[in-house]
Amino acid sequence: MNSQRMYEMMKQKLSRIVPEPELRYKVELAAEIVRLKEEKNAVILGHNYMEPALYYSIPDFRGDSLELSRKAAQTDKDIIVFCGVRFMAETAKILNPSKTVLIPSAKAGCSLAESITAEDVRALKAQFPGVPVVTYVNTYADVKAESDICCTSGNARAVVESLNSDTIIFLPDEYLAGNVAKETGKHIIFPTLTPGPSPDFGRGVRGDGTMLGWRGRCEVHEKFTVKDIENIRQQFPEVAILSHPECSPEVVAASDFSGSTGAMIRYVEQTNAPQYLVLTECSMGDNIAAANPDKEMLRLCSVRCPHMNEITLEDTLEALQKTQYVVEVPEDIRLRAYKAVERMIAIG
């Protein structure tokens, strides 16, 4: 695609969101990325948290973790460039071992993924033998490899219900676990790791709908409070407030809707409120505003994900030019993680 066509495409979407000089600069980067993408037979996946100029220019597919995992599983391209954070690129590699998977920045981590290790999961399994382990996709491959099944925020409830088990280990997000426990009628406890089987296990833990959680949190979503919601509602009494399930159960309860990033986007598209506020990474509010010029989006933009913000057009161009940073997953770990991811994808 030449620069002029790219400019027209980006201008049409972003004229109200991105200032003209910035747009002109980013058009050149985006056009070169698309040229290289075609030359190298690559596909670009863009997570909903990418900044608007990237989100609306270079990705072949945009979406949340689950939607992009599905796209990653179907691609026939040689290279997958994942504009998202490392655990997402790892999931693409788990599903496509023969492809080269690139992440534009080596610094794009995640506070949730870093909150738990494979060793922690093994210790929990030893403490609660036989209890199925559900792991949020926001974890690294070695943690997924220790799990029975993965889930996203979009399908967590369906995954938990599919297991048909009174007791579930649900890792690592404390708040997502709390929200899913509420939806599935389980109560949640946070066991302290001890060596060997839990002395309480089998006496009160089993048989009464228990979710065994972990104290991991998303450093973005944990920042939203019920007080924020009260303040916003005071100023904008008719605002529709949408929260991500990584927010606390109290924040979710005080919101009008809670769902994955994909579900929040659909909610705004399909409803008609005077204003909307999405309690999630700020760029997503920009991206929804760009796609829905008739909707008024409020933003709490002091809350940003430092990891998602590592991914820029400049880095994406460099990643394609230098074929960096290549995401690798050791084959023994990949095979076990694949089973957990594949089982999740089969549920939908």
Q: Residue numbers of the site for ligand SF4 (CB under 6 A)?
A: 85, 110-112, 138, 218-220, 281, 305, 307-308
Radius of gyration of the chain (CA): 21
Q: Nearer to ligand SF4 by C-beta: 100 or 309?
A: 309
Q: What is the 3-state secondary structure (H, E, C) of 281-308?
A: CHHHHHHHHHHCCCCCEECCCCCCCCCH
Q: Which of 159, 191, 193, 201 is nearest to 176 (CA)?
A: 159
Across the beta sheet with 149-151, what order do the strands follow?
A: 149-151, 133-136, 167-171, 210-212, 187-189
213 vs 172: CA distance, rounded Å = 7
Least Cβ distance, residue 316 to ligand SF4 (angstroms): 17
Report angle CA 177, 202, 116 to the nearest 5 degrees. Answer: 35
Q: Nearer to ligand SF4 by C-beta: 128 or 224?
A: 224
Least Cβ distance, residue 83 to ligand SF4 (angstroms): 12
Residue 246 C-beta-side C-alpha neighbours within 13 Å: 27
**Token digits for 146?**
């220790």
Q: Nearer to ligand SF4 by C-beta: 1 or 303?
A: 303
Least Cβ distance, residue 82 to ligand SF4 (angstroms): 12
Q: Nearer to ligand SF4 by C-beta: 27 or 344?
A: 344
Q: Nearer to ligand SF4 by C-beta: 110 or 149?
A: 110
Element (H, E) at 102: strand 100-102
Least Cβ distance, residue 8 to ligand SF4 (angstroms): 32
**Token digits for 151?**
């889930």
Least Cβ distance, residue 246 to ligand SF4 (angstroms): 6
**Token digits for 293?**
């010029």
Q: Nearer to ligand SF4 by C-beta: 210 or 258?
A: 258
Least Cβ distance, residue 105 to ligand SF4 (angstroms): 12
Least Cβ distance, residue 61 to ligand SF4 (angstroms): 18
The one-letter amino acid at 147:
S
61-63/257-258 β-pairing:
unpaired
Q: Nearer to ligand SF4 by C-beta: 6 or 311?
A: 311
10 vs 57: CA distance, rounded Å = 6
